[in-house]
Amino acid sequence: MKAAAVIHRILRQFRRDKRALALMLLAPVLVITLLWLVLDTEEYEPEIALVNAPVEFTEAVEEEKAGVVSMNMTEAMAALDAGEIDAALSWRDAQLFLILEGSDSTASRAVTQLLQEMLYDMNPLQQEMTPEILYLHGSEELNLFDNTGPVLVGFFVFFFVFLVGGISFLRERIQGTLEKSLASPLKRWEIIAGYLGGFGIFAVLQSIIIISYSIYVLDMFMAGSFWNVLLITLLLALAALSLGTLLSTFAGNEFQMIQFIPLVIVPQVFFSGIFNLETMHPFLRGIGKIMPLTYGAEALRGVMIRGEGPPDYWLQLAVLAGFSVLFISLNIFALKKHRRL
């Protein structure tokens, strides 16, 4: 009977907390649906440029599942550098050269597999041909961890800053510290700036630790500058911190704050670049455009794998800054329910 009383009390708690009940029932459905959308796709078809290829070789490539375009070497290298194609096949002095863009291991594997199958289907003389493989970015030693590493760095920075910042701000409100600040002459924007600055110090330390450990201890592939990576992660952390403090205003306790993870964090994992989205419907790829982690991961991949600098990823930085300004503005507006200044 005593156990039945405990069960009855727990059921009453869930009945009062309809959001927790709905999340418990619907969150798994949401996550498995996202997995289905991301993983249940067609085989990736690479984009390949042909340079000075014989006619019979061109015809053999066109029969494979790939996008094929003829270019000269200058055009092909420019297209590779811009990420418009995955590889360039060049024929020079009876030798086949395969130049891979290299920053996407999925695309590189698709190209090399296609070339192997094509050579196998051709006549015995050409079957024995061994192409010389070159990389514009990355190298043949670039593994799955190196390829997804920039996204993982961005994700862990975003996730932990979001969680710690949101819960810490929530505790400030629950313990009455926030109300005391609101009762002071401080303006709303000054309060938000103070909290973001205080929590931001720990976000900076966390970002430095994650980046340093990933690059120098785990030996994650790094083609660009450490300071460029730090700049991107700091902006990503600011967006996560401002979003976490914003959503904490809608939570009554730590458990409710954690409930936002399947709704806010998990979808960003699927649409940030860990999985190749090129084979998905354009509408689904567009989902990632409204998520901060997408832009942070894209900039990090550009620096760490392609060795890019600020002129190459300024747009991603601008979008991350825009997200931060938006979330901070909403934070200031949300404090109106506590006090009007």
User: Is 175 buried (19+), middle (13-18) or exposed (0-12) by CB count in 10 A?
Assistant: exposed
Distance CA 206, CA 161 (A): 8
Per-residue confidence band for 316, with pLDDT thresholds at 50, 70 and 90: very high
Write the pLDDT tens digit of every residue in 245-291: 888 887 777 777 787 887 788 888 887 777 776 666 677 777 778 88
- pLDDT, average across residues 199-213: 86
The answer to whether the beta carbons of residues 231 and 316 sit under 8 Å apart is: no
Write the pLDDT tens digit of every residue in 58-90: 777 666 666 777 888 888 888 888 778 888 888
Q: What's the confidence (pLDDT) of residue 337?
A: 61
The answer to whether the beta carbons of residues 135 and 112 sit under 8 Å apart is: no
Q: Which residues contact 167 (CB under 8 A, 6 or more apart)?
A: 244, 248, 254, 257
Q: What's the confidence (pLDDT) of residue 23?
A: 67
Q: In CATH, what class is 47-135?
A: alpha beta
Q: Is the pLDDT of residue 28 over 90?
A: no
Q: Name the residue type at position 255.
A: F
Q: Name the residue type at position 150.
A: P
For the question of whether the overall pTM of this predicted structure is more than 0.85, the answer is no
Q: Is the pLDDT of residue 111 over 90?
A: no
Residue 111 tokens, joined = 């190209």
Distance CA 316, CA 118 (A): 38
Longest CA–CA separation in the chain, Å? 88
Structural domain boundaries of the chain?
A: 47-135, 144-337
